[in-house]
Amino acid sequence: MRFCRASPLARSRQSWKPKCSASWTCTCWAKVLDLEQVRPFFASGVWQRIAAARQVLREEPFITALPAGEVVPEAAGQGRAAKAPVLVQGIADVVLVFDDHAEILDYKTDKSRNATYYIESYAAQLRLYRRAFALRLPVPVTKLTIYSFAMQDEIDIPLEYAAFGIGDKLLGR
């Protein structure tokens, strides 16, 4: 997805080539890309939101300092330790910016077809991304989504679950 312009895949590998912005990428991807695996993505609500967004930030790097109490639950309620800055860095696959809100989209190629697996494994990560982008964007981040290519579907990460409960596996708890 990184090297391709925002246009849906055509039905043949031949028509894939002109839709890419880096010709060396097109040749190698056209030979190995399973079009049947990615076609549902272009028919999804995720793709519709990408097309409707005012701005699409792809593979957007960030680094920000957050209070330790917001990153590590054990630090919450620890006085000054909870307020100590902790650097958080990452790369968001896609940030969709609309006039009144933003959404963070994370692509996953894991083989699991269990939505709970994705929530438990990645909710904490997306919650930190949300917090970091809240400091950078002029609009609030109101939606966190994982698109699973194995499931060929999107998984909404409920914002209240993304805090410190489900998803803490990522933080080693």
Q: Is 104 in contact with 127 (CB distance < 8 Å)?
A: no
- The pLDDT tens digits of the residues spanning 121-143 come to 999 899 899 989 998 999 999 99
What secondary structure does DSSP assign to the chain, as a single string?
-TTB-SS---SSHHHHGGGBS-HHHHHHHHHH--HHHHHHHHTSHHHHHHHH-SEEEEEEEEEEEEEHHHH-GGGTTSTHHHHSEEEEEEEEEEEEE-SS-EEEEEEE--S---HHHHHHHHHHHHHHHHHHHHTT-SS-EEEEEEEETTTTEEEE--TTTTTTBTBGGGGT-
pTM: 0.72
Q: Given a cut of 70, is residue 4 above it in pLDDT?
A: no
- d(CA 58, CA 87) in angstroms, rounded, equals 22
- The pLDDT tens digits of the residues spanning 83-97 come to 889 898 999 999 999
